[in-house]
Structure 1
Amino acid sequence: MSNRWEEIRPQVEAERLSLVKFLEGLREDEWAVRSLCTDWTVHEVLAHLTLSTRTGVKDWLKGLAQARFDFDRMESQQGRERAAQYSPAELIEQYRETAGSTRRSPLSGAMDPLVDVLVHGQDIARPLGREREIPLKLLPGALDHLWNSPFYGVKKRFRGTRMIATDVQWTAGDGPAEVRGPATELLLAATGRPSGLDNLQGEGVELVRATL
Structure 2
Amino acid sequence: MDEQTVWRHVGTQRRELADLIEALDADPQVWSTPSLCDGWTVRDVAAHLTHGTLPVPRMLVEAARSGFRFNAVVDRMARQDRSTPADIAATLRRVADSRRHPPGTSPVEPLIDLLVHGQDLCVPLGIDRPMPTDAAVVAAARVWDMGFPFRARRRCAGMRLVATDAEFAVGEGREVAAPVRELLLLLTGRHAGVSAAG
Same fold, TM exceeding 0.5? yes
Match in the other structure for 2:60: 61
| Contact 2:101/2:110, CA 8 A, preserved across alignment | yes
1:134 paired to 2:131: yes
In the TM superposition, 1:177-192 aligns within 5 A as: 177-192=174-189
Cα separation, 2, equivalents of 1:171 and 1:64: 36
Give distance in 1, aligned partners of 2:77 and 2:60.
13
Superposed displacement of residue 33, structure 1: 1.2
Q: Which moved more, 1:92-101 or 1:129-138?
A: 129-138
Per the alignment, do residues 165 and 133 of structure 1 end up closer, same or farther by CA in structure 2, a change over 3 Å counting? same
Counterpart pick for 1:9 among 1, 7, 10: 7
Structure 1 segment 25-104 matched on structure 2, within 5 A:
25-26=23-24, 27-56=27-56, 58-82=57-81, 85-104=82-101
Q: Which residue identity lines up with residue 91 of structure 1 in the other structure? A: I
Q: Is the 8 A contact 2:178 2:194 kept in 1?
A: no
Among 142, 145, 168, which residue is 1:145 paired with? 142
Deviation for aligned residue 1:169: 1.5
Aligned mates of 1:154, 1:15 — CA distance in 2? 23
> How many angstroms does 1:4 deviate by?
4.4
Q: CA contact under 8 A between 1:162 and 1:172: conserved in structure 2?
A: yes
Matched with 1:193 is 190
Paired residues in the alignment total 195
Q: How far apart are the structure 2 equivalents of 1:166 and 1:7?
A: 23
Tell which has more relative contact order, 1 or 2 (C-alpha 8 A, sep 6+). 2
Whole-Å separation in 1 of the counterparts to 2:100 and 2:68: 23
Contact 1:185 1:196 in 2 (8 A): yes
Asked if the contact 2:22–2:85 (Cα under 8 Å) also holds between the matched residues in 1, the reply is: no
Q: Which AA in structure 2 matches 1:29?
A: Q
Residues 73 and 12 (structure 1), Cα distance of their counterparts in 2 relative to 1, 3 Å cut: same
Residues 90-136 of structure 1, C-alpha deviation per residue, up to 9 Å, x if partnerless?
Answer: 11111111011111122221101111110000000011111111122
Structure 1: tracts of 5 or more residues without a match = 207-212
Counterpart check, 1:109 vs 2:110: no
Runs of 4+ displaced beyond 4 Å: none
Which consecutive unaligned segments of at least 5 residues does structure 2 have? none
Cα RMSD for the two superposed structures: 1.7
Shift in Å at residue 61 of structure 1? Answer: 2.8
Deviations 1:151-199 (A, max 9, x none): 22111111222110111121012x221122111111111001132433x
Identity over aligned pairs, percent: 33
Give yes or no for contact 1:67–1:73 (8 Å, CA) kept in 2: yes
Asked if structure 2 preserves the Cα contact closer than 8 Å seen for 1:187 and 1:196, the reply is no
Show the counterpart of 1:210: none
Return the alpha-carbon distance in structure 2 between the equivalents of residues 124 and 118 of structure 1: 10
Contact 1:60–1:106 under 8 Å retained in 2: no
- Give 1:19 deviation, angstroms: 1.4
Residue 161 of structure 1, aligned match among 159, 162, 167: 159
